[in-house]
Structure 1
């Protein structure tokens, strides 16, 4: 592992062992069990496609020898008995309880056995779970956005139902690798911003989550702004509530006892709520208004915002199951939730980021030890309701420490209970001195060595060694290796895998030496497949005059394979902070695989276990007013409404993707 590392860097980082979910003193296995095991696991020696050039076209661009099809797009019906998408906004709000929602985002493919159970090796049939993060109002309604006050209930109902999660069965055709979704499958369902959900973990039953809907503080309704995701080895899907705070209306009630908490979560006084859902009369709408209008919290929705900002666990194999918000994993703008490589008899570990400029990176370590026989939501309760939440501090030396957010930490003595720490996770992380980061977004765990990667998409808040470029409009990807090869360790070593940059930027800013075949801006989506290929997706506003958003493939090295560097800002002169960076990538180990259509974000990625079908989401294409994808993919003259959609990518020769 240390081959090619300089003596200075080796002295700094020490001996790096393979990482799994625990076992620091045990001999490290050469191939730790991945979250979705496929046999055998072989790391490719080289990527096997030609890099895709920059593109400003209103189409998805792929390497030569690859094809794509639109699998599941906004408004597609999950059942028979409701109409196909009409393209004019005429579908009813109620019908979106059984249609594809909008702004497709994080997703995962679960192989489905003939007996209806999770089969991590099956590729020809599965359940695709995918998030619907947000909406583009102009494309949902017949005449665009309605601005009346109150807004029409039919419009609000449609928007509420277009958020959330889709669970949809997909099957491979009898010939070839193409996928279609199974309309009418017994597994197909939608979770929306109105679906009943349970609260479990330390916050369950706490007075701060009591509402008119749940006087005992055990339940809530809905999930919103579901961005990135995760999965568990026991066969459940994790959907993550990101920028949920903007949906709530708050008055100028700055004397509230929880005012500091509200402000820290950007629930500012006099905010009206993103879409005006609270303007209507009725319980389903009034729950978005967080004023103290009743005698007690059980008479109104003053605490409703405290029931959002959580990791939500879903059992895709049981259509009658109730999703669960796992409160032991903290409350913030959850971008995603990614498990370590699980090892029987060791604790489970999950990594998370808080997508806000100047916020933090977290991990959760379960109290229970992993048993591969555990399945479903009962396993989730076992591993995710009890454990320790940590927040990261990145030191300038290249070392780091996980700081516990527990009642035993003297720095958190002001918090009355663990439930208060979990509800006010950001305030707790402030108090223990965590490192402020440049918008932590998606994470990924390398199945081959357990190292963890996380995108820091842009927007520098506070300069530090881990966030060293002033301004940082193009973002970077940080990574770390847990000390002793043990994911439960409280210390780690880190460096920056790659810095996003235009090719033409000054060399003191483009310090990863990116070229036209692999330059990128604002890395966001991130995922390792089981072969150890890292897939990087962008959500960019800083380089869009040169290229639409993209996806790249990489075979990265290891923490400590580079050295020290001191960057500047993108002007080439504003001084940055000394940092540690990985070895510069080359076209051989980092190259562009896909470029999306106009105005889109490339986000969400999954793959069948045989690596022959890849799923990618094209989010909010054309929302700037000029694009018409996916219709434009085959008809450049189309004027159809654009639609967020999941595409299925295959190799024309039927082989594995990327190699």
Structure 2
């Protein structure tokens, strides 16, 4: 099949032609104590195994005899079982109570037992527990050590399963095509399935778990029932149809094919439950909460661009309403209980034929052409040629962005301006209309994570624009945070308060490790200078700046970055992390590096090489005064990706080894504050979307215990070009990686991307997205059989899905 005509373009291209500066169980050997036959065994079971016991407690002599068990040492996040005994005519029931140390949630059980999760501590901390029966008591001391990566690193591999460490289990929760209502039949997976408006979509990406109580109301602390909301970024279209998609060179796309592909995009909201209370998760097919949001779902346009003529279309002549969301990649969570989903590579879906025989250039102004080219809206068919299916049907014709009518309300020349936004969704209300938050700017959105919320301070949202040489952004609300708003039930109205009015900034990273947030405000943004054959761009108003955010960022001199993707908030320090996935030599030449994007090198790749920064890095910043509204910040580079086998010291700057080397960081997420993994020294999850390292291993997810901005040192890198010429580049690197602070936790099946991660509030269930396994195959040459392969069946077409990872002994995952 010739895929040159229809298919997906990842969008990781450089449309920025300006000259802005390129600038970690412990094994517990518990012994059984037997004293004259009067004491039963007393064990403290900890984590994935048991920790070394200290001296036995003194025997309590009397009637009854009570034994609380021997002392032990554990790590933060371990699941601890206290098992005591009460004999000699004890008055039952005996009961445990905590009598010393930081309070934990103690759950008492039968047989003189109690359990708890070891809390987060900054230093070894003693917790005392006392067993009492008939007025007689005995105590045991459990010493908790700080958080540690107690699992053994998963080796690099090319297996067609999801691999997790010893002591962990993985099961498949949801899959592409799973029905989400009672009427939709099971997925056959032979290309004949239809009605994706009631099935889970393709290419699952970022996800988030929203807790529900037993009555079906929002419960941020529920770890047994919730809603799993997942983006569906794109398609393995070759597997969606019996023999692959019809090629547009053979005529128009069949409408049924196009409709299936359109519906397989967007998001899914699916109820999930722990059916036994032992982390046995299933999705609820007929839940009233289940919902698909697709490219055809009604949307409200909110913020400063609402009503702008630049959003007027034949569907919405006044530019206030839209339909759907597409290419949803990374996400964010708002403390008032909503999801922020990010529209990334939307531009390629539209037909326009820039400079081709079907071009509409003659009907466009010079300003329009500059904006269209800056965003890459220039395809002659659109990614999947949907507009060719049935031009008379509006659901298909809207993907033809050519100016063909007498005015913008006679065609869909402005339809692409309705995409590229952050979209807010209330998952608890299936009838709610999602809102596009235009104050946050229009770009190839990756990540929209809120900064640390402080009462009385303004709310910030941190965002990346995922293309090479694009920028990092921050939005700061006009309204100051009121903690009472976190509990309101009119959640989208709260979003109106904090996300519709404020200031959008773009980042400039300075060579001295400082940075500046540059405001993108009409009146202070200069004209964007002429670039090549493109004329100077003069901004008309604030709506123009927000619709054409890239042009405004060019104009103020922001720092072009190496594909800015996910953002993540360290919930303790308030520092913001940003993945910079990679770049290549054509966009980041050896004389085009800077302190924040410092590497240029030659990387072996299969039988050849690739040059530039193919392994990427992770940057972090700390706001001035630890205030999200600050206009200055400090930054360093937390980690540099590298292949530890091939890379020398000037490339493997973070000192990665076989247990933690990685390439092309993408997904990024800190653990929840409700459990020990998100407290004191929060656990960070790093996911990869790699093409340079896949001869070594399938894509992966690492667990990390990072430090803070400035914990490393200044570095001078010797860069090397393909012609062996060299250049020096100064930068700031974080502390080196070690087995204590960075380990590979998971690898995925063949040809997948690992993307999407969250846990239940207690941290004992981990949800991970597996996207596009077997993406390089087709129905005649299937190159992955996942998720069937996960269950021992190496047959059938691959499907994207979500897995559940749990610790066999019940502790916090990753610790």
Q: TM-score, normalised to structure 2's length? A: 0.74
For 1:130, the equivalent position in structure 2 comes to 230
* 1:575 Cα offset (Å): 2.8
For 2:596, the equivalent position in structure 1 comes to 466
Matches within 5 A, 1:141-540: 141-147=241-247, 148-251=250-353, 252-255=359-362, 256-257=364-365, 258-268=368-378, 271-279=380-388, 280-281=390-391, 282-374=393-485, 375=488, 376-411=491-526, 414-460=538-584, 461-462=587-588, 463-470=593-600, 471-504=612-645, 505-530=647-672, 531=678, 532-540=682-690
Larger proportion of strand: 2
- Tell me how large the CA RMSD over aligned residues is: 1.6
Alignment of 1:552 with 2:702, yes or no, is: yes
Worse-matched range after superposition: 455-464 or 593-602: 455-464
Matches within 5 A, 1:519-598: 519-530=661-672, 531=678, 532-569=682-719, 574-598=726-750
* 1:149 Cα offset (Å): 2.1
Name the CA distance, whole Å, in 2 between partners of 1:52 and 1:107.
Answer: 23
Matches within 5 A, 1:54-73: 54-73=156-175
Q: Per-residue CA shift, 1:197-239, capped at 9, x if unaligned?
A: 0101010000000000001100111111100011100000111
Q: Per-residue CA shift, 1:462-514, capped at 9, x if unaligned?
A: 41110000100000000011111111100000000010000021111111110
* 1:254 Cα offset (Å): 2.8
Name the CA distance, whole Å, in 1 between partners of 2:728 and 2:283.
Answer: 49
Distance 1:162 1:410, change over 3 A: closer
Worse-matched range after superposition: 370-379 or 526-535: 370-379
- Aligned residue pair count: 618
For 2:91, the equivalent position in structure 1 comes to none
Query: Retained in 1: the 8 A contact 2:224–2:277?
Result: no
Higher relative contact order (CA 8 A, sep 6+): 1
Query: Retained in 1: the 8 A contact 2:232–2:266?
Result: yes
For 2:24, the equivalent position in structure 1 comes to none
The one of 203, 212, 220 aligned to 1:112: 212
Gaps of 5+ in 2: 1-116, 123-145, 354-358, 529-537, 601-611, 673-677, 778-782
* 1:573 Cα offset (Å): 6.6
For 2:788, the equivalent position in structure 1 comes to 631
Name the CA distance, whole Å, in 2 between partners of 1:49 and 1:288.
Answer: 49
For 2:199, the equivalent position in structure 1 comes to 99
For 1:645, the equivalent position in structure 2 comes to 801
* 1:89 Cα offset (Å): 1.4
Partner SS for 2:433:
coil
Select the structure of larger CA radius of gyration. 2
Query: Retained in 2: the 8 A contact 1:472–1:569?
Result: no
Q: Per-residue CA shift, 1:285-314, capped at 9, x if unaligned?
A: 000011122221111101000000000000
Query: Retained in 1: the 8 A contact 2:457–2:627?
Result: no
Name the CA distance, whole Å, in 2 between partners of 1:117 and 1:412.
Answer: 50
Partner SS for 2:554:
helix
Alignment of 1:77 with 2:77, yes or no, is: no
* 1:569 Cα offset (Å): 4.2
Q: Per-residue CA shift, 1:367-408, capped at 9, x if unaligned?
A: 011223323100011110000000000000000000000014
